[in-house]
Structure 1
Amino acid sequence: MTIDSVEAITRHPLYAELVTKRKRFAWILTFLMFLFYYGFIMIVAYAPKSLAVPLWAGSVTTVGIPVGLSVIISAFVLTGIYVYRANGEFDRLTKSIQEDLR
């Protein structure tokens, strides 16, 4: 790729749209993941007894297990959401830019 083609890409209006949308979406997902993870850590740090409650009477499994699993699962879900949008909208914008510059 030459310097001229890089400049042509960065000047393209769809490139600015792609960068803005992708950056905004990535920050939203990052914020959500931090919220899930650090929310869980704050509960562990400041209210550990709330996670130590058994799921039902006589149960060995506590509330903390499904809550912890939901934090892990949320990472996979958020990744899937990003991949879905990247393979759809972001790829369409990239292909439009490529086609316009050929």
Structure 2
Amino acid sequence: MRTLNFFPPRSLDVVIDVKRPGLPADENVYSDGPVTSIVQAGSGRIPVGTLLYGRLWTADGNLVIRYTELRLPNGDVHPVCISVGEEGPEPGYEGSKPGAVQYSRTANAFAVKRWP
């Protein structure tokens, strides 16, 4: 992430799942699996429109997303270590359960040295 000038404690604002339409304030129900997010507020050399590729988990009704790769708008691909939940899982909203976490359509994604 050195070439991207993106180190802890920097963060990005992301739309969690580019395949789900809606407004930033909307909520969605998420389940385990691969996820593609899009940056809506960048940092360092990661601009708006960058795609993040990772995996989403919903254990215990909490949300965990770990991104391992990003694609800049110019097509360049970089390995990354970026997480939603700077210090661990994000608590799901009321009504969440394992396998079906209700959460905001947007989140902060943090540069991390290792997975929380």
Query: Is the helix fraction higher in 1 or 2?
Result: 1
TM range (shorter): under 0.3
Query: Is the strand fraction higher in 1 or 2?
Result: 2
Greater C-alpha Rg? 1
